[in-house]
Amino acid sequence: MRRTRRNHGRTVKAQVALAAVKGAKTVAELAEQLHVHPIQIIEWEQHLMAGAVDVFGGQKPPSEAPDLSLLAVSAQRHAFQ
C-alpha cells in the first residue's frame, strides 16, 4: 500500500527550520522526531536563511549576492558522519 504524499504548511516548515538554525538538536534528531527527511530539513533551513534579509530590510537589490558563508557554516554543522 502506498503512503500518500504529505504537504507541510508554511508554519511547520518555519518551525522546523528555526529549530535547525538554533542547533539544540541535530538534523538527524529533528528528522526522526518529525518524520521528515534530513535533506528536506536542510533545504528548509537554507531557504529560511536566504529569505531572512526580507524580514528586516524588504527586498534586497538584484546586484547583491546572498551571503553564502551562513549557508556553508550550516551545511558543515549538519554534515552526516
Q: If pLDDT is split at 50, 70 and 90, which confidence band does 81 have?
A: very low
Q: How far apart are CA 40 and CA 37, in angstroms?
A: 5
Residue with grid cell 538527524, as numbered in its chain: 28
- Tens-digit pLDDT profile for residues 8-19: 888 888 889 999
CB 25 within 8 A of CB 53: no
Q: Compute the half-sphere exposure of residue 34: CA atoms within 13 Å on the CB side of its CA.
A: 22
Alpha-carbon radius of gyration of the chain:
14
What is the largest distance, in Å, between two alpha-carbon atoms of the chain? 49
DSSP secondary-structure letter at 78? T
Where do the domains of the chain lie? 23-51
pTM given for the model:
0.62
